[in-house]
């Protein structure tokens, strides 16, 4: 368990980190060095940051935490899919999957611990939603699955789908922040067009994606062509009818010009 008194260093922006260094009597440029280690090099401990002095690394270790995600178990299927149970810093478990095909190498990642939508066809729907994942916890899943792809198939990730545990649009800020880090030149530098966010269908949040000019792909988990049947298997339909979703998707397309998949 991480010491709760320590500051989650990856929750800080470069500017915030620079201010922390200033308060410690360290030059502000150290923030950029640490930021590169955290995001570009995916460092999992301060000890790895070899261009920092030993004393500074000790200070960081005493006052800050890198709340890394660990692979708890990995199951290898006959079709070469690798299903991971990831352990979070607080002991919670989420799932992430590496899906290799001839055309692409895809990571399927989670956005929440559990889910509140109770979709009848989804095992996660029978779990209580405990909390949202932080942006760095989503990012770590991608990094770990990318490492698996390279180690087992000698091919890096080509695509990411937010289609694991949880409803991504109910963890809106952290999902978007994770995508910012994944696509950043000093992050994983992946194209927005290789990232797909799948939603059960929350009309107002789909419109918000449009207003925010989302650059990634959006997929709607439809599962039924009428409200009655869809409500039976996806209770979220009660407040998000197919008509409301159609209007939201039209608005989203007008704003982004990005087609939606189903």
Determine the Cα–Cα distance for residues 15 and 76; give it in Å rounded to an integer.
Answer: 42
At 23-53, the pLDDT tens digits run: 999 999 999 999 999 999 999 999 999 999 9
CB 82 within 8 A of CB 96: no
Radius of gyration in angstroms for the set of CA atoms belonging to the chain, rounded to a whole number: 20
Fold of 7-65: DNA polymerase; domain 1 (1.10.150)
CATH number, domain 70-261:
3.20.20.70
Determine the Cα–Cα distance for residues 141 and 110; give it in Å rounded to an integer.
Answer: 8
The percentage of the chain sitting over the pLDDT mark of 90, rounded to a whole number, equals: 91
Determine the Cα–Cα distance for residues 64 and 54; give it in Å rounded to an integer.
Answer: 15
DSSP strand E in 10-65: where? Answer: 64-65
Determine the Cα–Cα distance for residues 70 and 175; give it in Å rounded to an integer.
Answer: 19
Domain range list for the chain: 7-65, 70-261
At 89-99, the pLDDT tens digits run: 999 999 999 99
């Amino acid at each position: 368990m991480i010491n709760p008194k320590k500051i989650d260093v990856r929750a800080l922006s470069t500017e915030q980190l620079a201010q922390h260094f200033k308060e410690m009597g360290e030059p502000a440029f150290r923030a950029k060095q640490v930021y590169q280690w955290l995001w570009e090099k995916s460092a999992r401990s301060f000890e790895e940051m070899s261009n920092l002095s030993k004393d500074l690394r000790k200070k960081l270790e005493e006052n800050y935490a890198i709340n890394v995600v660990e692979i708890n178990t990995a199951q290898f299927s006959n079709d070469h899919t690798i299903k991971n149970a990831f352990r979070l810093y607080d002991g919670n478990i989420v799932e992430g999957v590496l899906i290799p095909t001839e055309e692409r190498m895809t990571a399927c990642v989670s956005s929440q611990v559990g889910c509140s939508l109770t979709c009848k066809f989804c095992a996660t729907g029978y779990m209580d939603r405990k909390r949202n994942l932080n942006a760095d916890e989503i990012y770590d899943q991608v990094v770990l699955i990318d490492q698996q792809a390279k180690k087992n198939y000698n091919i890096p990730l080509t695509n990411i789908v937010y289609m694991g545990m949880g409803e991504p649009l109910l963890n809106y800020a952290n999902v978007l922040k994770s995508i910012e880090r994944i696509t950043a030149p000093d992050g994983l530098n992946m194209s927005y067009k290789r990232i797909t966010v799948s939603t059960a269908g929350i009309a107002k949040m789909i419109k918000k994606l449009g207003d925010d000019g989302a650059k990634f792909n959006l997929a709607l988990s439809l599962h039924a062509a009428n409200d009655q049947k869809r409500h039976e298997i996806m209770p979220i339909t009660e407040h998000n009818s197919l008509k409301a979703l159609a209007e939201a998707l039209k608005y989203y397309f007008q704003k982004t010009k990005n087609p939606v998949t189903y």
